[in-house]
Amino acid sequence: MSNAADLVLPPRPLRWLYLDLNSYFASVEQQLQPELRGKPIIVAPVDSDTTVAIAASVEAKRYGISTGTPVWEAKRLCRELLITPARHDRYVEFHDAVIEEVWRHIPVAHVCSIDEVACRLLDNENDRDGAVALARRIKAGIRAHVGDCLTSSVGIAPNRLLAKLASDLQKPDGLIVLSAEMLPHALFGLKLREIAGIGAKMERRLAQDGINDIRQLCARRPRDAGTAWGGTNGDRLWYLLHGVDLPDKPTQSRTIGHSHVLSPRQRGAEPARLTARRLTLKAASRLRRKGYRARLLVLHARFETNKAKWQGSVRLPATQDSFVILDALDALFPRLLDAAKAQGGGFQVRMIGVTLSEIAPTDGEQGSLFGLLDPNDPLARETRGLALSRAMDSLNERFGRHAVSVGPMTGGRLDRVGTKIAFGRIPEAAEFHE
């Protein structure tokens, strides 16, 4: 019976350069605010000890502070800590400038997140010395033309997964090459959880099959490793860890949504309801801009008293109409009120979020036949509602966020529900007008 060592693999030249900006949000703030440079800082969504850091500077990380650290704990770990509010629109501006600078040196194959890009190396630039020189030019170009506070770590490897892993091996300001002759043994010091796609559940599944580290996974034959992984194409990871450059599997957007952590004084029923409406309008606007329709609305929340989670959903007709979706939200919200009463202690919601699910493209959509029906006909109302929703999108993009809106924008000071960045998704410029 053959084992993994007997397999003959194809040539595995250096094909990918992966760039990861170090402490990105915090570095942008240090670039914009010179008085913060060289100091431990965190970026936080609001000025409150009850929230968490969404980014920590290199200096703050030396104290054990990282993304997700509660602000109160970060202050305890570092008495000199400085806190600055997040400015997501500026982070997108710097992101665009970084992408433009990388393009001056090499085409960008994938924008992987707000602070990570992957570039495919051509045959005339993938020898080790040439690839390293290219990486150094890119790193220097970013610091010279975008901001000298923006350092980056670069990984170079035969495939994108390995290049990503290499970029994580030396931070900040690192440059690591993983060539074919170094694989897979150069990875044996890493933990399984450091590989994208392996979480706690998959780690337990692999352990049940006798795989507790990368060495044991790579020692299996590809098919056996795939059986332990489970699912279709389970052997992909084995080949990737050995440096084979496999084509990407196609992906498709399945949900569009937003969530918001409410400030301590805005965790009652009415502020939560109004915040959910704003989040719904933002999600519906994105849905239209991407050319999708949704069939399911999901409302989710986390309670303050015991941190318990709640989720409810309601079916939608295939729609991208803000008015139809808001009507569904109004029908769904009382279920959250009932769940909150069952918790006891009054209505106190820490986080609220809205997700549009079961989305599909509107390709081939025809104009409505119902626009000239009686104004009170439901089909006519939906046609006009969608047209009005699109008109609102245009007005808000031209004149600024909330130039026009649906429903109340008053009733006391509410949290600002602006566009925020998930590290895996870069907002479009239009989202900052929603």
Enumerate the active-site residues: 116
3-state secondary structure at position 10:
coil
Separation of alpha carbons 197 and 193, rounded Å? 8
Helix, strand, coil fractions of the chain, as percent rounded to 5: 40, 20, 40
Question: Is residue 257 within a helix (H) or strand (E), and if so which, with residue range?
Answer: strand 255-261
Q: Which residues contact 211 (CB under 8 A, 6 or more apart)?
A: 192, 217, 220, 225, 228
How many alpha carbons fall within 13 Å on the CB side of residue 167?
27
Q: Report residue 49: phi and psi, to 5°.
A: -70, -15
Q: Are 420 and 45 in contact (CB under 8 A)?
A: yes
Burial of residue 228 (CB within 10 Å: 0-12, 13-18, 19+) is buried
3-state secondary structure at position 313:
strand
Give the torsion sign (CA, 177, 425, 317, 340).
positive
3-state secondary structure at position 335:
helix
Strand order in the sheet with 82-85: 55-56, 41-44, 82-85
Q: What Å distances lie between residue 13 and 19, 218, 342, 351, CA to CA?
A: 18, 20, 60, 47
Separation of alpha carbons 202 and 198, rounded Å? 5
3-state secondary structure at position 395:
helix
Tallying the residues shown for the chain, one arrives at 434
Q: Which residues contact 245 (CB under 8 A, 6 or more apart)?
A: 12, 15, 16, 158, 159, 160
The DSSP-derived string for 178-197 is: --GGGTTGGGTTS-GGGSTT
